[in-house]
């Protein structure tokens, strides 16, 4: 306990000469020592690294470090994807049994991910027959849907024109969780389509493709990125816990990777040793 108190005192001596460029008491990557860095080191004794912030994206807001015995956390809010959209938790160990190994951007740490991405609206167009007319109408829908977004989601439109019976193709696409647009020979002649929403049991009345897309949009949620990343290192583990939904969820992984990093905790402790304190 005495060494931890001395560590805090030694590090606090340099706070006045090490101000954060990001403002407030943020654990800034590559910046000066701050209370937030000290609190994380004290909360989880023996950790070799401390999570830090290198940049805040537009619309992001840092929330202060909350220290507890064996746990240090801070969160980041976004005006677009959640308040908070990511929680950073540092502990002595993490349970990564449900996560998959991933390529780590923070060597020598190991990285594991357990995330669910939900960015796209999947639509399968099923032309009846198919005949030349229904197949042409299906291809036209694919072209017209290029670049369309529904509730900030990109639209992925495919055509099932295999030789299987039309009903079987509809059932297969629906069972796979896609919205299904059906084009009969009459639809091809009149410029209409039938719609079977994902998770629904009955086809909607025939309408235009624009009406079908509007109907689909009413039944989809915002894009989301949820789950956890685990950075495992000597003496501890840091979890990034995501709950991001809305415009920006598709890029949140890359944005967070650019915005967060780690400070060498041993270097911080060495500052105290160099000041003459007996720090383990």
Note whether 176 and 130 are same-domain residues: yes
108 belongs to a structural domain = no
Distance CA 244, CA 227 (A): 9
The total number of residues written for the chain in this structure: 280
Domain boundary among 184, 199, 217: 217
Place of tokens 């340099």: 14
Note whether 52 and 187 are same-domain residues: no
Note whether 148 and 188 are same-domain residues: yes
Mean pLDDT, residues 142-149 taken together: 92
Note whether 93 and 232 are same-domain residues: yes
Note whether 50 and 135 are same-domain residues: no
Distance CA 11, CA 79 (A): 34
109 belongs to a structural domain = no
Note whether 175 and 242 are same-domain residues: no
- Residue 15 φ/ψ, nearest 5 degrees: -65, -40
Mean pLDDT, residues 160-167 taken together: 95
Q: Please, which residues have CB within 8 angstroms of residue 96's CB and are 6 or more apart in sequence? A: 112, 114, 230, 232
107 belongs to a structural domain = no
Residue 124's H or E segment, with its range, is strand 120-127
Q: Please, which residues have CB within 8 angstroms of residue 109's CB and are 6 or more apart in sequence? A: 49, 231, 232, 233, 262
User: Cis omega before residue 156 (within 30°)?
Assistant: no
Asked whether residue 2 carries a pLDDT value surpassing 70, the answer given is no
Q: State the pTM of this model.
A: 0.81
Q: Give the model's confidence band at 275: pLDDT under 50 very low, under 70 low, under 90 confident, else very high.
A: low
Note whether 55 and 139 are same-domain residues: no
**Confidence (pLDDT) at 30:** 81
**Confidence (pLDDT) at 6:** 44
Place of tokens 């969820």: 249
**Could you please report the per-residue DSSP string of 199-237?**
T-SSPEEEE-HHHHHHHHHTT-PPPEEEEEEEEEETTEE
Note whether 254 and 167 are same-domain residues: no
HSE-up (13 A, CA, CB side) for residue 82: 20
Domains of the chain: total: 2
69 belongs to a structural domain = yes
Note whether 172 and 233 are same-domain residues: no
Note whether 269 and 202 are same-domain residues: no
Domain boundary among 169, 193, 217: 217
**Confidence (pLDDT) at 276:** 64
106 belongs to a structural domain = no
Q: For the range 190-193, what are the long-range contacts, defined as Cβ-Cβ under 8 Å and sequence gap of 24 or more? A: 191/137, 193/141
Between residues 77 and 269, the one the model is more confident about: 77
Q: Which residue range is the domain that position 184 belongs to? A: 120-217
261 belongs to a structural domain = yes
Average pLDDT, the chain: 89
Question: Tens of pLDDT along 184-233?
Answer: 999 999 999 999 999 998 998 889 999 999 999 999 999 999 999 999 99
Crossing angle between the packed helical segments 265-274 and 35-43, to the nearest 10 degrees: 100
> Residue 120 corresponds to which tokens in the numbers above?
């796209």
- Which residue blocks in 13-131 are alpha helix, DSSP H? 35-43
> Residue 148 corresponds to which tokens in the numbers above?
């369309």
**Confidence (pLDDT) at 70:** 95
Distance CA 277, CA 280 (A): 9
252 belongs to a structural domain = yes
Here the CATH number for the domain that contains residue 129 is 3.40.50.800
Note whether 24 and 87 are same-domain residues: yes
Assess contact for 243 and 229: CB atoms under 8 A. Answer: no
113 belongs to a structural domain = no
**Confidence (pLDDT) at 35:** 82
């Amino acid at each position: 306990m005495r060494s931890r108190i001395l560590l805090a005192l030694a590090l606090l001596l340099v706070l006045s000469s090490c101000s954060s460029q990001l403002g407030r008491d943020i654990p800034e990557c590559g910046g000066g020592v701050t209370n937030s860095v000290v609190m994380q080191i004290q909360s989880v004794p023996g950790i070799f690294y401390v999570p830090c912030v290198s940049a805040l994206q537009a619309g992001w807001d840092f929330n202060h470090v909350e220290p507890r015995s064996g746990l240090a956390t801070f969160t980041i809010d976004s005006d677009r994807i959640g308040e908070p959209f990511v929680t950073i938790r540092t502990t002595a160990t993490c349970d990564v049994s449900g996560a998959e190994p991933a390529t780590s951007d923070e060597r020598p740490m190991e990285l594991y991910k357990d995330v669910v991405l939900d960015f796209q609206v999947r639509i399968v167009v099923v032309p009846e027959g198919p005949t030349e007319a229904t197949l042409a109408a299906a291809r036209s829908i694919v072209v017209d849907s290029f670049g369309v977004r529904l509730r900030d989601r990109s639209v992925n439109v495919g055509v099932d024109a295999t030789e299987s019976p039309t009903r079987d193709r509809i059932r297969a696409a629906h069972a796979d969780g896609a919205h299904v647009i059906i084009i009969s020979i009459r639809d091809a002649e009149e410029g209409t389509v039938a719609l079977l929403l994902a998770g629904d049991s009955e086809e909607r009345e025939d309408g235009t493709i624009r009406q079908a897309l509007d109907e689909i949009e009413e039944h989809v949620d915002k894009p989301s990125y949820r789950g956890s990343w685990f950075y495992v290192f000597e003496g501890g583990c840091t979890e990034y816990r995501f709950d991001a939904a809305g415009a920006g969820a598709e890029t949140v992984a890359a944005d967070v990777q650019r915005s967060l990093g780690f400070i060498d905790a041993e270097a911080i402790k060495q500052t105290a040793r160099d000041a003459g304190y007996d720090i383990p």
